[in-house]
Structure 1
Amino acid sequence: MSGIEDAEHKAAGSARTQPPRVVALGGGHGLHASLSALRRVTTDVTAVVTVADDGGSSGRLRRELGVLPPGDLRMALAALCGDDEWGHTWSEVVQHRFRSEGELHGHAVGNLLIVALWELLGDSVAGLDWVGQLLGAHGRVLPMSSVPLDIVAEVEGADPDRPTAMTTVRGQVACASTRGRVRSVSLVPQEPPVPQQTLKAVYEADWVVFGPGSWFTSVLPHLLVPALARALVATSARRVVTLNLSPQRGETDGFAAHTYLEVLAAHAPDLRVDVVLAERSGVEDPVMLERTAASLGARLVLADVSAADGSPRHDPDRLAAAFERFLD
């Protein structure tokens, strides 16, 4: 950051009387990383989480009880737990999975707790708020839609004998594990209902954060829900795109850093972006990335945000430090 930028940043911070209101979009481990960082930067953070998971414990509960898949919502709540003993303990509790030879095997405690509150209260948002209070979560978790969603992907080369043929694949697990290359995604139903609390959070936000995460199954789906997409385009909030550290097999094989932005623009051509955040050492062609970011209206911020051990995951403290450079 230049001296002028640093002075402007400090002046903006001193002028603000309230912490920045940040909405983070995504699901799974990517959103967990983003929230773990953001709660270190602001006390006003809301997660808007995908509800298309159809595998594991979430998929089983979804099929058996007809509820929203709770897994990604649980992970978001765990990420918002504090660093004190209470937060650490409850984070471990809700993330704990049973190991047995019976039907409980693989179920996460937090999934069962969330679904129990949904059944008792009859309200998905209220249930999540109650779990958040119990955990002492430093923020709020909201679902992207009021109903479970299915992701449908157009995949090239799913059949190795026909490398150029296109195949339609349905379901988050199938899309994420495909042997081919995902070219585009859509949702079923196409116009699902969105909780008013979710739309309100987006419209009132100062910043909206996209990614990191599974690009086609966790990040882009938010822009495929019409009511939510309209809010994300119309909000006065500034928008950040945090890029992934490495390609994901099937979903993003062969992606360069700028490809993520090109795919984002193809699925949401009206969306403008203010900041693109990327790992400094992971960009092979920074000039191309900067040019692509500029085409979306964004400036590029390169920072050291990956884990020091070299694993392809974001370090919460490093990511928080990067966010602090521009969140105000």
Structure 2
Amino acid sequence: MSASAVGRFGDPARPAVVALGGGHGLSASLSALRLMTDRITAVVTVADDGGSSGRLRDEMGVLPPGDLRMALSALCDDSEWGRTWRDLLQHRFSTDGPLDRHSVGNLLIVALWELLGDTVGGLDLVGRLLGARGRVLPMSMVPLCIEADVRTQDGRAEVVRGQTHVAVTPHRIEQLRLDPVDPPACPEAVAAVMDADWVVLGPGSWYSSVLPHLLVPELRAALLGTSARIVVTLNLTPDDETAGMRAVDHLAVLRTHAPELPIHAVVADPASVEDVGELADLCAATGTRLLVRQVRRGDGSAVHDPLRLAAALRDVVDDYLGDVGTTTGTDALGGT
């Protein structure tokens, strides 16, 4: 390994990685990343307006805590202590009263915010309680609303408002925006992106969890200005908001919302790519390296396997460090 590579990436065995997203997709990414480094920062969307998070957001005017809680749980220490506190955070009440479907973790996080008056400090304290292998931060310091311009099947233009509605829209999404349009980014999240070796986008709900990070001006500027390399992990299956979209369409939408964003590598599962050759051609045309590798569980379910995804991401990192040779076949970076 060259001295320049070591200087650029610090400790190559412990790269500093920032993962952007929310919900189950971000949890999948964090479950894999924790197997390859402990220098992890999760930057989480704060637009959830449903369920326990939505109720707390409406009642108390706080950031929706649910996706933040899930990210913290994914990074918990792999010990009896860490797993016990993770399970407690994820526990939901089932009652006939006002606590019904509230998670303990959501209530704990909001209580700490109220007690400390410090959003980031409260999340860091929960991370210490879990022995978290990394840090969890909100992408913005204010609750956000997602709006989408959609095109119905009969050609009418409509606006869908709210993350829970965007996530299940049956219509083709044409453009995404945030309300407020110029939200303040979390300063610690901006600093983490600028200091990172790698930034991972996806997997996750493309419009309601992944793309919103690119619409926060300060965070977008950091993603464009960082020296970190950006990796996109594609989803295993479409969801409601991306029904009918192919792997190449996901990348095209990313380019539409952030055409100047450099994408250095793409990780895709072969069973989730309709035309590997077309995806490889698109990546080659944009100077993006492509790793096509099975990253789903062996039982065929549409769930990322942490070990397989970690191995794929590690190969992407090692390839840039010059520690692996050229491969051929569907495991090749930059081709098929």
Distance 1:327 1:13, change over 3 A: farther
**Superposed, which structure 2 residues align to 1:183-262 within 5 Å?**
183-249=174-240, 251-262=241-252
State the match for 1:164 in structure 2.
Answer: 155
Distance 2:12 2:236 in 1: 34
CA RMSD of aligned residues (A): 2.1
Question: 1:43-192 to 2 correspondence within 5 Å?
Answer: 43-157=38-152, 163-192=154-183
Percent identity (aligned) = 58
Contact 2:235 2:272 in 1 (8 A): no
User: Which secondary structure does the structure 1 equivalent of 2:227 belong to?
Assistant: coil
Distance 1:122 1:294 in 2: 48
1:40 deviates by 0.5
Q: CA separation of 1:168/1:17 partners in 2, compared to 1, >3 Å: closer, same or farther?
A: closer
State how far apart, in whole Å, the 1-side matches of 2:99 and 2:303 are: 30
Give the partner amino acid of 1:81.
C
Q: TM-score, normalised by structure 1?
A: 0.93
CA–CA distance in 2 between the matches of 1:36 and 1:15?
A: 23
- CA–CA distance in structure 2, aligned partners of residues 269 and 123 of structure 1: 35
Residue correspondences, number: 317
Distance 2:286 2:262 in 1: 5
Could you say which residue in structure 1 is the equivalent of 2:30? 35
What corresponds to 1:294 in structure 2?
284
Q: For 1:315 and 1:13, locate their aligned partners in 2 and report how far apart those are by CA, in whole Å.
A: 30
1:262–1:292 contact (8 Å) kept in structure 2: no
Contact 1:58 1:69 in 2 (8 A): yes
Give the deviation of 1:181 after TM superposition: 2.0
Question: For the Cα contact (< 8 Å) 2:185–2:217, is it kept in 1?
Answer: no
Deviation per CA, 1:78-108, whole angstroms, max 9, x where unpaired? 0001222122111111011000111100001
Alpha-carbon distance, 1:179 to partner: 2.5
Deviations 1:193-250 (A, max 9, x none): 112111100000000000000000000000011110000011000000000011111x
Q: 3-state SS of the aligned residue for 1:216?
A: helix
- The corresponding residue for 1:3 is none
Aligned residue among 293, 298, 308 for 1:303: 293
What do residues 282-318 of structure 1 show as CA deviations (whole Å, max 9, x unaligned)? 2121111112223443110011101111111111111
Unaligned runs of at least 5 residues, structure 1? 1-5
Asked whether the equivalents of residues 155 and 181 of structure 1 are also in contact (C-alpha less than 8 Å), the reply is: yes
Name whichever of 19-28 and 85-94 sits farther off: 85-94
